[in-house]
């Protein structure tokens, strides 16, 4: 197996995630796209762990999974709060801070 095939897969997933963050209006779908990005980073870390024969990448990947879980928890809490106050989770309509 080539190093590059895993890294290319991660790059494709990362770009799809970036497209999702840009194109989506629904806040829950934006969070899902962020999960795609975090997963592509994990694939990268584990690829380099195998290439270099070390276990550091595994530790980092586990930490990223934990941080992603925390991020989703707080993110969905924020989305719920926004929905309760504005009756919508479309990020285009949250424009109070526009000058």
Partner 1 sequence: MIAQNIGFWIIAVLMVVSALRVVTTNNVVHAALWLVVVLAGAAGQYILLAAEFVAITQVLVYIGAVMVLFLFGTMLTRARIGAESDLNNSYKKLGIPVGLVMLVAMGLALTRSFGDEKLPESAKVVSTQEVSDQIFGPYLLPFWALSFVLLAAVVGAIVLARKD
- Interface with partner 1 by CB under 8 A: which residues? 1-9, 11-20, 22-26, 28-29, 31-33, 35-36, 39, 42-43, 46-47, 49-51, 53, 55-56, 58-59, 61-63, 65-74, 76-81, 83-84, 89-92
**Shortest Å, Cβ 96 to partner 1:** 17
**Shortest Å, Cβ 99 to partner 1:** 19
Look up residue 58 and give its two tokens: 């595994």
**Shortest Å, Cβ 40 to partner 1:** 8
Look up residue 27 and give its two tokens: 């806040």
Look up residue 16 and give its two tokens: 């799809």
Q: Are 17 and 34 in contact (CB under 8 A)?
A: yes
Q: Are 77 and 36 in contact (CB under 8 A)?
A: no
């Amino acid at each position: 197996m080539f190093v590059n095939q895993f890294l290319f897969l991660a790059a494709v997933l990362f770009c799809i995630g970036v497209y999702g963050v840009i194109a989506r209006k629904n806040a829950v779908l934006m969070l899902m796209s962020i999960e795609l990005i975090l997963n592509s980073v994990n694939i990268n870390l584990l690829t380099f762990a195998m290439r270099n024969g070390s276990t550091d990448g595994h530790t980092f990947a586990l930490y990223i999974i934990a941080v992603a879980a925390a991020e989703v928890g707080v993110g969905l809490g924020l989305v719920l709060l926004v929905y309760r106050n504005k009756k919508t989770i479309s990020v285009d309509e949250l424009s109070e801070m526009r000058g």
